[in-house]
Every structure is written in structure tokens, then in C-alpha cells.
Structure 1
């Protein structure tokens, strides 16, 4: 199966998806969240991308992948049939908007600061209210902090990419970032720094990141993907993919 990958800037969601329907079984949406999903040499790759691609192959489904800003991807997938999104954390704010196919991996989200920032002291979430926190727009960590009374453009600094928030952390333009340790490590290297220069100051939550469809999607696709993932897990294929990123 040939999986085509393109980065799409679009004005009409409906016209794009209607044109795709005849050529592919499903449309797949993701965002840059390296090392889980990212573009390298013009190709979409990453831990979760490799898993989802393997699952689609095993299920015998043709698909077209798109990179969207994460908030747009979530809204689009929730509104369209047979549009798969990953890696989507299963949180209560999203629970009723999606068909949760299967978890792809488990992700920890924590607050990080620079080690040299000895002026920042955090022992509870309330302590974090005194500081600026970089988050990915629409992501689970963004929703989590909003649900605990943090406010956009006050404590929260909203970014369209994790790399930007990590970069500004190292430039001391923001005090903290809320993210996954693998993401922080990867993006720190990309902007010329090291994860060893950061310090985890507070664990926020741990959650499973899923493949999910919008409501009204074909049940046959859901079942085929579930069975394909089960087979790949039992064969050890999923563990082999995960080992590449450890």
C-alpha cells in the first residue's frame, strides 16, 4: 500500500475531503509532535506515524496523510466521517466527540524549567500560576491547564509548534513548558541545546494517546484497525518500532 504524505494549507475542508474520498479509504490527520510525528527529508515519520502506518498496512486500508496545526486537526477530524487522527490523548473534553479506536502509546506530561532558573520554585500546580507556561495550542496539556483555571495569554503562552515553546524556554522568554520528556529532549537538540539543561518540576498527568475517528465513521474501518493493531502487538512489531525511539 502506498501512503501519500502532504502538508496541506487549506481554505475549504469539505472540497478537499470530497475529492479524496474516491481515491483513498480514509484520510489521516496528525501534527508535528516529534519524535512521535514529524517530517524528515520530505517524509512523514516518527514513532506514532510508524505504528499507524503499519496498522493501516496490516488492515489493508489505503490512506492519505496530512499535517495540520493540532487544534485544526482535532476540529476537522471530529466533524468529518472516516477521518483518522493520531496521536490524540483521551481526555474528558474530547470523550464524546470521537470513536476511540485504540491507544498507540502512553505519554507523560510534566512542567519543565531551565536548571539555571533557580528563581523558579514549584511544589504544586498553584505555584505554577506565578509563571508563564508554553503549551501547544489545543493539545491535552493546554486543555488540562485551562481546566485548572490557567488563562490563555496570561499564564499560558500558546504556540503552534512545540519547537517554538522549547526555543523560547531556552531563551528565557517563558518560564516553563508543559510537554512530554521525549518531545522536550528531541526539540532541545533541534534548537541547539540539551535536555540535561532542563529540570522536571511537576508531573501533570499521564494518558494514552489514541488513533481515533470522528463520530459517524465506518464501523468496519474501526474494527479492521483494532484487529490489525492487536495482531501487530502480539507479533512484537509494535515493540520493535518503539525500541527504535528509546
Structure 2
């Protein structure tokens, strides 16, 4: 009981300190449907709306900002952002960021190829000599990123990668399964692009915050409330609205990171 009281008291002081200075928790993220995206000035998405609900229950106000992903990372490094939505865990970031024990969602990084030039890869060895389109700032796993078997070529957006794929400028592209299927549908590429069998990596994504006074207790409260919400009918309905597992909401629009804004 003493430990619980200490936890609640410290977390309360964290919330009160933000309110006392008229501050909001500054969260940055990149639009990435169906997890988080913007449409006509409004924000939507499974992970975004889940996070909003959890923070509302915790009594914490949030200031959101959409930026290219590499710019989000720079803002975290500079201390001009308090946290990031839908970030992967990495040991390099442990000294800077705190991660809740409960992830928001899971990402499956898979490969897509043009049907006119099929490369239905089942293993990384099947990519020997090929060029794979990537996105700056993403963590695909060491086995993929460090491999010398194939070439990696970044593009300013996932849409650009699909365009390069159709033009034959790359052999495959890598992205999240849900995001890729969404773009195939919204770009009208059904029958032109297919998903390869290989799952390159599977990674949970989190709402992570910079280390600071009371933040460790904040992420504990966030994880507990997130886990509780995931067991409620409201989360089931929210997940279903965005296509369930692993579907896609047809009306969503993806805006991806731009290399021109990278540091």
C-alpha cells in the first residue's frame, strides 16, 4: 500500500507541475495511417485515439505536433519535445527515453514487389543483388539493416517508394504490412503490387517520453491505464473501426517523412 501511495503521489505531482506552469506534454509523431494521421485538420488513428483516451483518464493535457520522423528524433534529442508516439524501442535510446511496459500496437515489416517484376522473397538471401526501397529513420532490425547481400535506397515518402517500384527503379520496398496494404488500396495499385511472404521483423511501437522528474512514474501509470483500456469494449470498437487485425480503414491518408527536412 505504501508503494502504491508513493507512486500515485509522485505521478500527481508530475501532472500538477505541468499544470502549474500552464504546460502541456509535448508529443511529436509522424502521420502513419492507420496508426496516426491527419485529415482536413483533424487527427485520427488507432494509436493516436488510444493515447488521447489514456491521457484524458490520467488528467494530462497534450500538445501534438506532426513532423517527419527524423525531425521528431531531433526534437527529442534537443529536449524540445517531451515524447514521441509510435516509436520503436532501441538500446541506443534507453539512456534518453522511457518506455511503458505496454505497447500501443505491433508492426510487421514486410516487402512489396511489382507484379511485372516479381520477387516473392521468403528469406533475406532471396534479396541478393537487389535494391530495396526504405524510409529514413526507421529501424527494420539489424539483420536487414546490416546485410551486405542487397542494396538499400531511401525515398522521401512511402508513396515515392511505390512510384519507384512501378517504374522499376527499385526491386522491392519495405514498410509495415498495414501501411503497405493501405497504400495499395488508396493509390489504386490492386493487381499491380503484391506482398512477399517474408516478414523482415516484428516490432512493438510505444508512446515513449524523455527521462525527467516523475516521468518514470508517468509511464507506469500510462502502461496500466493502456492495458486496462485494451480490455474494454471501447478499444475493441476502436480497433474494428481501423480495420481490426490487420485491416485498413479505406478513407485514411498517409503522409510520410521527407528527406529534405532530415538533419
Name the TM-score, length of structure 2 as normaliser.
Answer: 0.74
Q: Which residue of 1 aligns with 2:106?
A: 106
Point out the structure with the larger strand share: 1
Whether the 8 Å contact between 2:121 and 2:127 is mirrored in structure 1 is yes
Q: Which residue of 2 aligns with 1:165?
A: 161
SS at 1:130 equivalent: coil
Match of residue 230, structure 1, among 212, 227, 231: 227
Name the TM-score, length of structure 1 as normaliser.
Answer: 0.79
Is 2:184 the partner of 1:185? no
After TM superposition, give the deviation of residue 39 of structure 1 in Å. Answer: 1.2
Runs of 4+ in structure 1 off by over 4 angstroms are none
Change (3 A) 1:168 1:212: same
Q: Which residue of 2 aligns with 1:147?
A: 146
CA–CA distance in structure 2, aligned partners of residues 239 and 79 of structure 1: 37
CA RMSD of aligned residues (A): 2.6
CA–CA distance in structure 2, aligned partners of residues 74 and 158 of structure 1: 17
Whether the 8 Å contact between 1:167 and 1:191 is mirrored in structure 2 is no
The 10-residue stretch of structure 1 (164-173 or 131-140) with the greater mean CA deviation from structure 2: 164-173
Larger Rg: 2
After TM superposition, give the deviation of residue 196 of structure 1 in Å. Answer: 7.0
Q: Which residue of 2 aligns with 1:176?
A: 172
- Once the two structures are superposed, the pairs formed by residues 86-105 of structure 1 within 5 Å of their partners are 86-101=85-100, 102-105=102-105
Alignment length (residue pairs): 222
Unaligned 5+ residue runs, structure 1? 1-20
Residue by residue over 1:15-71, the C-alpha shift from the partner in whole angstroms, topping out at 9 and shown as x without a partner, is xxxxxx944330011102222121111112112111111111111110111111112
